[in-house]
Amino acid sequence: MNNQLHREDGPAIEWKNGNKHWNLQGRLHRTDGPAIELAESYLGYTVKKWSINGKWHREDGPAVEWGTGYKEWWIDDQQLTEEQFNQWLKDKQS
């Protein structure tokens, strides 16, 4: 699609080392899991990053999960603390 990375039924890029990127019309995008999966062989630990329409975003947990245990919460490309995320989730559910 206009020289943009695009695939609707799986990762748009898969590297030999196991890294995967899901792209839709050139933007990182996946609704049913992380849009980026970095394999353990890449950094020595796994990394998963959730993205919707090119923005870091996840509504059911951290949008970035490092194999080291470090986590980041993002909503619509805005980074939140875990406490801010929990408040956002509470407000959304009420």
Specify the pTM: 0.91
Instruction: Give the tens place of pLDDT for each residue, 34-66.
Output: 999 999 877 889 999 999 999 999 999 999 999
Predicted confidence at residue 73, as pLDDT, reads 99
Instruction: Give the tens place of pLDDT for each residue, 61-78.
Output: 999 999 999 999 999 999
Residue 1 has pLDDT above 70, yes or no: no
Spatial separation of the C-alpha atoms in residues 18 and 4, rounded to whole Å: 21
